[in-house]
Amino acid sequence: MTAGSGGNGCVAFLREKYRPRGGPSGGDGGRGGDIIAQADEGMGTLLYYSAHRLFRAQSGENGRGKTQHGRSGEDLVLKFPTGTIIKELATGELVADLTHDGQQILLAKGGRGGRGNARFATSTHQAPRRADPGETGQERELTLELRLLADAGLIGLPNAGKSSLLARLSAARPKIADYPFTTLEPVLGVVAVDAETSFTLADIPGLVERAHEGRGLGHTFLRHIRRTAVLVHLVDASSGDVEGALRDHRTVNDELAKYAEDLAAKPQITVASKADLPSVAESLPALRTAFADRNIELMAVSSATGAGCRELVARIYTEVRALRAAAVEAEQASE
């Protein structure tokens, strides 16, 4: 993308009847237009930018005689979905992180207009023939990445029951099947706590060991949960194997820590899924004891019957509300 270039300054002298000593009258060139990114929550994808890759803002007009300044170029406002991250293509440096609707970030700055010769007139140099050229607009190559924005995210190994739980708690209808990786893209749902309050919950694609290296859905999974405030960690306990459940829980957390330390530090709510199955009911006391030995409280839910879902929603919202309040306090403190 290229911002608009500034217009050139003008060299001119005023020549009018009855004004024999009119002097220099060259006007300034207009400023080039900026390129601005704007977050728009009405957009859902970056599809437009896969087909349109070159953007140029309007350049400023050149100055004219009679000290007429050139018109400035119009700014080019590019709209992106909320959650878009914009980086420098060559270096990977973060340029913009669009987190809320209407947010605007300058991507490329337009060039300044050149000064006309009227600017250079002095008492000792009354007929300057100098004018500045306009500055070239900033040119950048950028890359776009869309990350999901959600209050809470469902994590766990494939087939842990994340999609089923999201469908139970919200109106979202993710694909549900009895084979791994049925969810290939994050799915977002709104969970109603009561008539006036709600939070957003994302079904994040499952991962496997070494996902931080890109194995399985790898980075497709991990890059999205960096946006979530609270992680709801589902553990499939249907086998009745306590050690296996602990191992699965550890595998997911190891992948979080290897990908980014801040992920492992996020608040987690650990939940045993498929609690309606007899094998889970039998092993649940031992599971809770094993997790408690590691200072982890284990909840249990059934997406099929709804058992434990109300308690889980209340627990998630308690965490989300506390984090929202902390974010507001931090923003107020920084002002």
Question: 158-162 contacts: CB < 8 A, separation 24 or more?
Answer: 158/206, 158/207, 158/208, 158/216, 159/206, 159/236, 160/206, 160/234, 160/235, 160/236, 160/248, 160/273, 161/234, 161/236, 161/273, 161/274, 161/303, 162/203, 162/204, 162/206, 162/234
Do residues 167 and 33 touch, judged by C-beta distance below 8 A? no
Sheet hosting strand 35-40, strand order edge to edge: 76-81, 35-40, 104-108
Task: Please name which of 236, 243, 334 lies closest in space to residue 294, comparing C-alpha atoms.
Answer: 243
DSSP code string of 177-232: -SSS----S-EEEEEESSSS-EEEEEEPPP--TTGGGT-TTHHHHHHHHTS-SEEE
Instruction: Indicate the average pLDDT of the chain.
Output: 84
Task: Please name which of 240, 246, 262, 261 lies closest in space to residue 298, comparing C-alpha atoms.
Answer: 246
Q: How far apart are CA 42 and CA 31, in angstroms?
A: 31
Lowest mean pLDDT across 11-15, 145-149, 329-333: 329-333
What kind of fold does domain 35-146 have according to CATH? Spo0b-associated Gtp-binding Protein; Chain: A, (2.70.210)
Distance between start and end Cα atoms, the chain = 33
What CA–CA distances, in Å, run from 195 to 67, 191, 315, 331?
Answer: 64, 11, 17, 28
Q: How far apart are CA 311 and CA 318, in angstroms?
A: 11
Do residues 187 and 172 touch, judged by C-beta distance below 8 A? yes
Residue 224 dihedral angles phi and psi, to the nearest 5°: -80, -35
CATH 3.40.50.300 residue ranges for the chain: 152-334
Please state the length of the chain: 335
pTM recorded for the entire structure: 0.63
CATH 2.70.210.12 residue ranges for the chain: 35-146
Do residues 5 and 136 touch, judged by C-beta distance below 8 A? yes
Q: Which band of pLDDT confidence, cut at 50, 70 and 90, is reported for residue 156?
A: confident
Instruction: Return the amino acid letter for 288.
Output: R
Cα 15 to its chain centre, rounded Å, is 58
Per-residue tokens: 36: 């601005």
Q: What is the pLDDT of residue 128?
A: 92
Residue 39 dihedral angles phi and psi, to the nearest 5°: -75, 135
CATH 3.40.50.300 is the classification of domain 152-334:
yes
Q: How far apart are CA 9 and CA 209, in angstroms?
A: 63
Per-residue tokens: 314: 């209340």
| pLDDT tens digits for range 55-88 | 999 999 999 998 999 999 999 999 998 888 899 9
| pLDDT tens digits for range 241-282 | 899 999 999 988 888 888 777 787 889 999 999 999 998 889
Q: Which band of pLDDT confidence, cut at 50, 70 and 90, is reported for residue 221?
A: low
Q: Which band of pLDDT confidence, cut at 50, 70 and 90, is reported for residue 23?
A: confident
